[in-house]
Amino acid sequence: MKKILIISDSKIGHNFVQRAIDTFAKDNLYYVIQTKADEFENAPASRFKFFEFDPTSLYKLSNVLKMEFVQVFIAMKNPADIEHTIANIRISKKQLRIIVIDHWAMDLKEYNVVQINTTEILASHMFDYLPNVPVVAQNVGLGEGEIMDVLVPFGSSFVYRHVGVIEQKQWRIVGIYRGGKLILPDDRKMIHPNDQLLLVGEPSVLNSVYRAIKREIGQFPQPFGTNLYLFVDMIKDDVKEITYLVDKAIAVHEKFSNRLIIKVCNPSDLALLEKIKSRRSENIVVDIDYQQSYIEDVVLNDVKQYDVGLIMVSSYLFAKDKMREILFDANVPVLSLAERSIEKIKDAVIVLNDNKDLEKISTTVFDFSSQMGYNIELLKNEEEESSEQDEIIEHYQNLSAIFSKNIHVNFHHDNPIRKLSKRENFLQCIPFTEKILQGKSSTIFSTDIEELYHRLNRYHQLFFPIKI
């Protein structure tokens, strides 16, 4: 049996001994030294031996230390008594592990002990009760935040999503606490409001996941970034359309309180440039690149520099293969602006398929549509029997109840591209996956609506990244 020595003359020490009594551990034998004998309930004589003397007495303490202990715990009220007791122990036990309750931030480095700083622990525990602060396990695993407990708020982007739909790279949902019970998650389990999620993963990744879980409606373009960004290339964009492009970006900007950065590359028309610069205001910044830099460097650097949460480009630029690759690497939503009016859009349309990514982008669709004042429409082929699509519809209907925003499920029998092509105006919402990076020639025989997005690029299209 392992012998453990406890030296105590404080309430913390008393409670520690009582918890050791209440926690059955048949392999531990406890020796308790007290300056004044105290009463303990249900202390089994076979596992607990009590002594009453002053541990600062080297003679008395050395007699007890003739036994082989694996650890010593010290919980005393006087810092001088603690230091003398440790010094006494070290005379005969140089390597014995000593754990000390420390209220005073004592300097005990020379004694090689483990100090439990009560001030830091209490402050940390109080900090756990702050809203919007992750609770991490400090005494489990590495204690570095690789285990986290997160309460899912009512308007969270994770509410009513299936566990299997949530991309979990370098982290996992390992438990769901609901109604005081533990639910072991599988792919088909759905997350409800006020669930507590037990997460395990890389601490830095978990911090990002925490922010994603806590993100609620009305915060777009968060969590992707803070500001809106329009990219204009005067050589590649149609000069006649650039003015309208700026007007559309400003129309979107007016729905948000965030700044709009208008980035102009390859300035070639001075009159047009002056016209764009005249649109400057407190919340509209015009940034002109006279260096003829690589577009990739310009866009990706600006995303970081300006904390960009939404990129806007012309549909003509978005059709360029290289441009789509750059925008994909930026990992923020991209609004491809067509020639049609942005002010006359009434509906944000999602064409259903079996792709679960449609569930991943749902909260951002609701958030953007709510702020822009759009209706949400799900377009489903009535002849297709699909449990995946039924789950997606269920998910969007649950979110519509949370966000008090109606959605409309439109059933059809036709080719969805042909059906949508007959409409005057709408915004198509699409997951921004690697499918979008394919060239037109490679999708000639495809029936995937996402791969065929370019067939509807006469309309405004919003591409949502699916990574957290």
Query: Which pLDDT value is given to residue 401?
Result: 67
Whether the per-residue pLDDT at 22 is higher than 90: the answer is no
Domains and CATH numbers, the chain: 2-122 (3.40.50.720), 130-214 (3.30.70.1450), 227-337 (3.40.50.620), 347-465 (3.40.50)
Query: Which pLDDT value is given to residue 25?
Result: 65
Closest listed residue to residue 327, CA positions, set 170, 218, 462: 462
How far apart are the C-alpha atoms of 217 and 208, rounded to whole Å? Answer: 17
Residues 6+ apart with CB under 8 A from 400: 366, 376, 406, 407
Average pLDDT over every residue of 135-162: 78
What are residue 442's phi and psi, to 5 degrees?
-80, -5
176-209 pLDDT, tens digit per residue, is: 999 889 999 998 899 998 899 999 988 877 877 8
Question: Does 44 or 245 have the greater pLDDT score?
Answer: 245
Instruction: Give residue 26's pLDDT band: very low, low, confident or very high (50, 70, 90).
Output: low
234-259 pLDDT, tens digit per residue, is: 989 988 899 999 999 999 999 987 89
How far apart are the C-alpha atoms of 338 and 355, rounded to whole Å? Answer: 25
- In this prediction, what percent of the chain has a pLDDT beyond 90? 53
How far apart are the C-alpha atoms of 302 and 337, rounded to whole Å? Answer: 20
Q: Copy the structure tokens of residue 371.
A: 């702020």
What are residue 213's phi and psi, to 5 degrees?
-65, -40
Query: Which pLDDT value is given to residue 141?
Result: 67
How far apart are the C-alpha atoms of 298 and 305, rounded to whole Å? Answer: 10
Query: Which pLDDT value is given to residue 45?
Result: 85
Q: Which residue has the tokens 């810092």?
A: 79
Instruction: Give residue 403's pLDDT band: very low, low, confident or very high (50, 70, 90).
Output: low
92-123 pLDDT, tens digit per residue, is: 898 899 999 999 989 998 999 999 989 888 88
45-73 pLDDT, tens digit per residue, is: 888 999 999 999 999 999 999 999 999 99
Q: Copy the structure tokens of residue 93.
A: 């036990």
Whether the per-residue pLDDT at 468 is higher than 60: the answer is no
For residue 432, the Cα-to-chain-centroid distance in whole angstroms is 19
Query: Which pLDDT value is given to residue 16?
Result: 92
What are residue 71's phi and psi, to 5 degrees?
-155, 155
pTM, 2 dp? 0.63
277-293 pLDDT, tens digit per residue, is: 999 999 999 999 888 77
- In this prediction, what percent of the chain has a pLDDT beyond 70? 94
Whether the per-residue pLDDT at 447 is higher than 90: the answer is no
Query: Which pLDDT value is given to residue 374?
Result: 93
